[in-house]
Amino acid sequence: MLSKSFVVWLMLFMGGICLRTGISSVAPVLEAIQSSLQVSTTWLGMLTAIPVICMGVLSPLGHRLEQRFGMKKSMLMAFAILIVGLLLRLDSRSFGLLMLTAGCVGVADAIIRPLLSGFIKDKFPERVALAMSVYSASMGTGSALAAYGTPLLSQLATGSWRAGLAFWALPALIALLVWWFGPSEQPHAAQQAKNSIKNPVSRGITLTFTLFFGLQAGINYALLAWMPSFYIQQGFAEHAAGTLVAVLIVSQTLTSLFFSLITRKLGISHRAAAGVFSLITLLGIIALFSLQNLPWVAPLILGVGTGGLFPMALILPLDFTENRVQATRLSGITQSGGYLLGGAIPWLIGLAASTFGMTHGLKIFMGLCVLLILLMSLLIARAYRSQQVANSAR
C-alpha cells in the first residue's frame, strides 16, 4: 500500500506534468494542422495564444472555485475540463473546434496552477522550495515529452496529428485518478477557504510579484520564440539552432529540479535568490550577443537563470501568506497579470525586431526586460526585510 506522503508527492507531480502538454504538443504539428485544415499562419498562432490569454484572465478562478467547492473538487473539475478538451482534438475536423480545445486547456490550466501553489503551502509548509522544484521540473518534463513525443505518436497513428494531440488526455486522466483517490480535504480547510478572503500583502507588493512573474515568463517565452531565428541569422543551420534551444530547455529543467539543493548548498535565501538568478540571466543575455564563437554558453547560462527565476516566482506568494487559501488567492492574482504581460513580451520583441532588425531588437528589448526584473528583485528583497521586521515585532 502506498504511503500517504508518497501519494501527496504524486498528486503534486501529476498535477504539474499535465499543465504544459496541451500547449507544447501543438507546435511540432502546426504544419500538419495548417495543411489539413487550410488555415493561415496568423490563425495558427491562436492555438498557443488562447491558453496563455485564458491563464492571464482566469487565474483568479481557482480561488473562487476553492471557496465554493474546496480544493479537491476544484482540481477534479479542472482535470475533467482538460481531458474533455484534449479528447475533442481526436475529432477536430474544423479549426473552430480546435480553438475550443485550446480554450479548454487554458481554462483548466488557469484553475490548476494557483490551486497547486495553495496545495504546496498546505502540504509542504517546511519544504516549500523542494516542492516547488518538483512542481517546476514536472511542468518542464511534461512540456519536453509533449514536444518530442507528439510527432512520434502521430506517426504511430498512421500520420494522424489529431491522435498525437489527443494522446495527452492520458496523463491528465492519470492525474485525475491520483487526485480522486488521494487524501480527502479536511473539513476545517474547506471552511477556511470560505472565510479567508483578505489579501495578506499590500497592493504595491502584489504588483511587484506580478511584474516579476510576468517578466520571467516573458523572457522565457521570448527566448523559446526568437532564439532559433537569432541563431539562424547568425549563420547557424536550423538543426543547430534547435539543438541550442534544447540546451536552454534542459538547463532550465535541471535548474528548476535542483533549485532547492542549489540555494541550500550556496547558502542563498529566497530574499537573495531572485537577485542572483536575475543577474545570471543578465550574464546570459550578454553572452548571447558577445560570445557567438561559443554559442552553447549563452543557452546554458540563460537556462540556469530562467530555470531559477520560475520556481522563485511561484514561491513568492507562499512566503508572504499564512495559509493555503491566501496562497491560492495571491498566486491567482500574480499569475493573472503575469501571464498577460509574459504573453505580450514575445510580440513586442517581434515589433522591435521588425523596426531595428533581429539582433538589435532582441538585444534592446531583452536587455530592458532583464534590467526591469533586477529592479523587481531589489523591491522583493526589501519586501522580505519588511516582513522579517514585522514578524520580529509580533
Q: What is the pLDDT of residues 15-42, one digit of tens each?
A: 999 888 888 787 777 778 878 888 776 6
User: What is the rounded average pLDDT of the residues 140-145?
Assistant: 82
**Residue 161 or 147, more confident:** 161
Identify whether residues 11 and 148 lie together within a single domain: yes
Q: Would the CA dihedral through 299, 305, 311, 313 be positive or negative?
A: negative
Question: How high is the pLDDT of residue 209?
Answer: 92
**Residue 116 or 347, more confident:** 116
Residue that is last in its domain, among 156, 177, 195: 195
Identify whether residues 183 and 207 lie together within a single domain: no
Chain-centroid distance, C-alpha 152: 24
Question: How high is the pLDDT of residue 223?
Answer: 82
User: What is the rounded average pLDDT of the residues 354-370?
Assistant: 79
Q: Which of 46-50, 266-270, 300-304 has the lowest mean pLDDT?
A: 46-50
289 CB contacts (<8 Å, ≥6 apart)? 359, 363
Most confident listed range (177-191, 208-222, 226-240, 341-355): 208-222
Identify whether residues 165 and 212 lie together within a single domain: no
Identify whether residues 286 and 171 lie together within a single domain: no
Q: Say if residue 119's pLDDT is above 80.
A: yes
Instruction: Give the count of domains, the chain.
Output: 2
- Among 259, 252, 256, smallest CA distance to 223 is for 252
Per residue in 147-156, pLDDT (tens digit) is 778 888 888 8
Question: How high is the pLDDT of residue 80?
Answer: 95
Domain span at residue 218 reads 203-393
Q: Say if residue 131's pLDDT is above 90.
A: no
User: What is the rounded average pLDDT of the residues 128-133?
Assistant: 83
pLDDT band, very low/low/confident/very high, at 197 (cuts 50, 70, 90): low
Question: How high is the pLDDT of residue 304?
Answer: 92
Tell me if 351 sits within 8 A of 224, measured CB to CB: no
Residue that is last in its domain, among 195, 220, 250: 195
Per residue in 198-214, pLDDT (tens digit) is 666 788 889 999 999 99
Identify whether residues 191 and 239 lie together within a single domain: no
Identify whether residues 108 and 139 lie together within a single domain: yes
Residue that is last in its domain, among 176, 195, 214: 195
Q: Say if residue 195's pLDDT is above 60.
A: no
Identify whether residues 181 and 209 lie together within a single domain: no
Identify whether residues 86 and 120 lie together within a single domain: yes
Identify whether residues 117 and 249 lie together within a single domain: no
What is the pLDDT of the chain when averaged over all its residues? 82
Q: Say if residue 390's pLDDT is above 90.
A: no
Identify whether residues 189 and 217 lie together within a single domain: no
Q: Say if residue 6's pLDDT is above 80.
A: yes
Quote the pTM value: 0.81
CATH number at residue 276: 1.20.1250.20
User: What is the rounded average pLDDT of the residues 40-57?
Assistant: 76
Question: How high is the pLDDT of residue 389?
Answer: 59
Query: Which residue, chain included where needed, has cell 504544459?
Result: 20
Identify whether residues 189 and 78 lie together within a single domain: yes
User: What is the rounded average pLDDT of the residues 50-76?
Assistant: 84
Question: How high is the pLDDT of residue 67?
Answer: 82
Identify whether residues 215 and 285 lie together within a single domain: yes
119 CB contacts (<8 Å, ≥6 apart)? 11, 12, 15, 71, 324
pLDDT band, very low/low/confident/very high, at 5 (cuts 50, 70, 90): confident
Q: Say if residue 374's pLDDT is above 60.
A: yes
Percent of the chain whose pLDDT exceeds 70 = 91
Question: How high is the pLDDT of residue 43?
Answer: 75
pLDDT band, very low/low/confident/very high, at 238 (cuts 50, 70, 90): low
Per residue in 81-94, pLDDT (tens digit) is 999 999 998 887 88
Question: How high is the pLDDT of residue 177?
Answer: 94
Tell me if 14 sits within 8 A of 178, measured CB to CB: yes
Q: Which of 111-120, 313-322, 349-358 has the lowest mean pLDDT?
A: 349-358
